[in-house]
Structure 1
Amino acid sequence: MTVATFPSLHDLAQQLRREMEQKKFVLLYAYNGTGKTRLSVAFKDLGKRAVQLEPLLTEAGEPIEAEDGTTLGVEAVQGDTLYFNAFTEDLFHWDNDLQNDRERVLKINRDSLFFAGLGELEMDNRIRPLLNRYADFDFRIDTAEWEVTFSREVEVEGVRTIAEDIKVSRGEENIFIWCFFLAIVQLVLDGAEAYKWVKYVYIDDPISSLDDNNAVTVAHHLAQMLMASAERVKTVISTHHVLFFNVLCNELKKSRKYFLSRNARSGNYLISETDSTPFLYHLASLVELHEAACSGALYTHHFNIMRRVMEQTACFFGYAKWEECIKPEVDDPNKTLYKRVIDLMSHGDYSLYEPREMLPENKEHFGRALRQFISTHPFSPTLFGGAP
Structure 2
Amino acid sequence: MTLDEIAEILKVDPAQITLMYAFNATGKTQLSVAYKNATKLEDGSHTGVYYNAYSEDLFVWDNDEENGGTNVRLTVLPSSLSKFHSSMTEDNVRDKLNAYKPKFGFSFNPYEDDPEKGIESISFFIPNQNPDVPQPPIKISRGEERIFVWCFFLALFEVEGWADKQSSHFFIDDPVSSLDDHNIFVTAATLYDLIEKQFEKRKIIVTTHHLGLFSILSDWITKGEKSHKFKKKDKPLYKLHILSAKSGALELENCRNDVFLYHLRVLQLLFIARDAKDVRAYHFAMLRQVLENVASFLGVGQFSYVLNQIGITEASRVADIVNALSHKKVYYYESDIVVQDNLDIFEEVMSGLLAKYKFVLHAE
The normalised TM-score by structure 1 is 0.61
**Partner Cα distance (1:272, 1:316) in 2:** 33
Q: 1:282 to 1:313 in 2, by over 3 A?
A: farther
Q: Which amino acid aligns with 1:180?
A: F
TM-superposed deviation, 1:317? 7.5
Aligned to 1:275: 256
Aligned to 1:239: 208
Q: Which amino acid aligns with 1:378?
A: V
Q: Which amino acid aligns with 2:24?
A: N
Selected match of 1:149 from 100, 123, 136? 123
Q: Which amino acid aligns with 1:104?
A: V
Paired residue secondary structure (2:143):
helix
Q: 1:375 to 1:311 in 2, by over 3 A?
A: farther
Q: Which amino acid aligns with 2:107?
A: R
Give 1:312-327 correspondences, 5 Å limit: 312-315=273-276
Q: List per-residue Cα deviations over 1:6-31 (Å, max 9, x = no partner).
A: 2x100101101111xx2111011011
TM-superposed deviation, 1:79? 0.8
Aligned pair 1:122/2:116, yes or no? no
Q: What value does the CA root-mean-square deviation take over the aligned residues?
A: 3.4
Aligned pair 1:81/2:62, yes or no? no
Selected match of 1:256 from 218, 239, 242? 239
TM-superposed deviation, 1:185? 2.3
Aligned pair 1:175/2:147, yes or no? yes
Higher Rg: 1
**Partner Cα distance (1:384, 1:25) in 2:** 36
Selected match of 1:9 from 3, 6, 9? 3
**Partner Cα distance (2:358, 2:74) in 1:** 59
Q: List per-residue Cα deviations over 1:61-117 (Å, max 9, x = no partner).
A: xxxxxxxxxxxxxxxx421221111111111112222211211122212222x3441
**Partner Cα distance (1:186, 1:83) in 2:** 13
Q: Which amino acid aligns with 1:103?
A: N
Aligned to 2:179: 210
Q: Which amino acid aligns with 1:164?
A: P
The normalised TM-score by structure 2 is 0.65
CA contact (8 A) 1:83 1:203 kept: yes
TM-superposed deviation, 1:125? 1.6
TM-superposed deviation, 1:268? 1.9
TM-superposed deviation, 1:136? 1.4
Give 1:291-370 correspondences, 5 Å limit: 312-315=273-276
Aligned to 2:156: 184
Aligned pair 1:228/2:197, yes or no? yes
**Partner Cα distance (1:261, 1:48) in 2:** 26
TM-superposed deviation, 1:315? 4.2
Paired residue secondary structure (1:82):
strand
**Partner Cα distance (2:74, 2:266) in 1:** 43
**Partner Cα distance (1:111, 1:317) in 2:** 42
**Partner Cα distance (2:110, 2:26) in 1:** 38
**Partner Cα distance (2:310, 2:127) in 1:** 49
CA contact (8 A) 1:24 1:231 kept: yes
More helix by share: 2
Give 1:48-127 correspondences, 5 Å limit: 48-49=40-41, 51=43, 77-101=44-68, 102-112=70-80, 114-119=81-86, 121-127=87-93
Overall identity of the aligned pairs, in %: 29
Q: 1:163 to 1:227 in 2, by over 3 A?
A: same
Aligned length: 270
